Amino acid sequence: MDRASLAFVMVGHVDHGKSTLIGRLLCDTDSLPDGKLEEIEAAARAEGRELEFGFVMDHLREERERGITIDTAQTFFSSPRRDYVIIDAPGHKEFIKNMITGASQAEAAMLICSVAEGVQEQTKRHAYVLKLLGLAQVVVAYNKMDLVGFQEAPFRRVKADMDAFLGRLGVAPSMEVPISARRGDNVATRSGNMPWYDGPTILEALDVFAKIPPPTDKPLRFPVQDVYEGPEAGDGRIVVGRVESGRLERGQSLRFLPGGQVRTVREIRKYGEQDVASAEAGECIGVVLEDDGLERGQVGGPQDDLPSPTRRFHASVFWLSPTPLDLERQADALALKCATQEQPCRIADMLERLDSSTLELLPREDGRLRETEVGELLIETAEPVVVESFYDVQELGRFVLVRGRDVVAGGIVTRPEA
């Protein structure tokens, strides 16, 4: 039987020890390839350096850049209980782009904070993004305890600041662990330097996280990625895409919106499988339909259980671009990307403006939304789109806004208008 795996995203302010913690986890769980640690130690000696665990990540990152063996965008290690995938997000921009577009589907998160430096603005922004994206399973690692002499008082002080901010967000950490990633205290093994702490290690905290099942219990949503025709489809068409939620059955009648076409599923095709009777959330498939007329961007689902297409919806939007959003001068066209849908759009109204690191409400009279600010916006698309509240169906409730080739914002749908 295949071992279960769990994907979690690791975020934190620059220099708070994220790379060191990842390197320590890889080494202490014997998750590096055979001979890799010795190779890295030799490389460190050649540079006149002692081995630091952040150097492990530096070395692997260089290998990735040369196209060799290890991908550090997603890093893998194992505990006795299960396998893990670390989604390494270099900063809030990369994090929000990856998470909202679905390129990295995390089931949990680890927020790293240096006890020596305390809670920083970027720490708070990352925490806000965790809340925005609905990541409920969160562990906070309070790193660099060795720099404060492993004393309890600094840990309690920084923890109180963090708890106050997370409490305002409505985020309740599953566990909060004082660690020294550099020395290995409370990472994979319990520390003898902090007798005042009797909670789990980082590895034990991760093992408590629940595996998030695919959303098969939600209504079926099947966004069309592309449509093909040819001899292999007989007199029909092969529609390919990813089942974002629910379950699709052979013989089922689907309605596709916008457009309203009704098609019956003659066959379901999966790579390397034959005579497939069904497909469920998370699977990339092809379905053979008896007629044409469909196109990329439409969303299929049960005839009696699909949201009405809309041109207007309310959203929480995290602005990423150094160039502010200006409601009065929207000269540069924006495009909405949600699932496989892409539509020109405009911001019809700004209902609220928020500082993501202080949670302070900001004046909105000038109609501008600046980098790292969050806006409660009313978005209007050129043509109808199929979106749903993120809190009902996440898969059709997350989106990015694009200007030219640049992702300038990411957000979640809070309420579609009828």
The fraction of the chain above a pLDDT of 90, given in percent, is 62
Of the two residues 219 and 38, the one the predictor is more confident about is 219
Rounded to a whole number of angstroms, the CA Rg of the chain reads 24
Burial class (CB in 10 A: 0-12, 13-18, 19+), 220: buried
CA distances, 198 to each of 175, 176, 206 (Å)? 12, 11, 16
Instruction: Give the predicted TM-score (pTM) of the model.
Output: 0.86
Confidence of residue 291 (pLDDT cuts 50, 70, 90): confident
Domains, the chain, in order of start with CATH, read 5-208 (3.40.50.300), 222-302 (2.40.30.10), 310-416 (2.40.30.10)
Burial class (CB in 10 A: 0-12, 13-18, 19+), 133: buried
Which pLDDT score, from 0 to 100, does residue 233 have? 64
Read off the pLDDT of residues 82-95 as tens digits, 9 standing for 90 and up: 999 888 766 666 66
Indicate the range of 124-133, 146-155, 192-201, 345-354 predicted with least confidence: 124-133
How do 108-114 and 5-12 pair as beta strands? parallel
Q: Which two tokens stand for residue 135?
A: 């990541």
Distance CA(219)–CA(246), nearest Å, equals 5
Read off the pLDDT of residues 372-399 as tens digits, 9 standing for 90 and up: 999 999 999 999 999 999 989 988 999 9
Upper half-sphere CA count for residue 61 (Cβ side, 13 Å): 12
Distance CA(232)–CA(21), nearest Å, equals 50
Distance CA(37)–CA(51), nearest Å, equals 10
Contact 239, 254 (CB under 8 A): no
How do 222-228 and 237-242 pair as beta strands? antiparallel
Which pLDDT score, from 0 to 100, does residue 328 have? 85
Distance CA(33)–CA(70), nearest Å, equals 10
- pLDDT of residue 51 exceeding 70, the answer is no
* HEC letters along 50-102: CCCHHHHHHHHHHHHHCCCCCCCCEEEEECCCCEEEEEECCCHHHHHHHHHHC
CA dihedral 295, 297, 302, 304 (to 10 degrees): -100
Total Cβ atoms within 10 A of residue 262: 12
Contact 362, 354 (CB under 8 A): yes
CA 391 to chain centre: 15
Q: What mean pLDDT comes out for the span 130-147? A: 93
32-48 burial, b for 16+ CB within 10 Å, e for fewer? beeebbeebbeebeeee
Indicate the range of 43-57, 240-254, 273-287, 323-337 predicted with least confidence: 43-57
Please choose, from the candidates 65, 24, 62, the residue with its C-alpha nearest in 3D space to the C-alpha of residue 43: 62
Burial class (CB in 10 A: 0-12, 13-18, 19+), 196: exposed
Mean pLDDT, rounded, of the chain: 87
Please choose, from the candidates 336, 349, 348, 319, the residue with its C-alpha nearest in 3D space to the C-alpha of residue 384: 336
Confidence of residue 15 (pLDDT cuts 50, 70, 90): confident
Largest CA distance in the chain: 74
Which pLDDT score, from 0 to 100, does residue 103 have? 42
Please choose, from the candidates 74, 70, 17, the residue with its C-alpha nearest in 3D space to the C-alpha of residue 40: 70
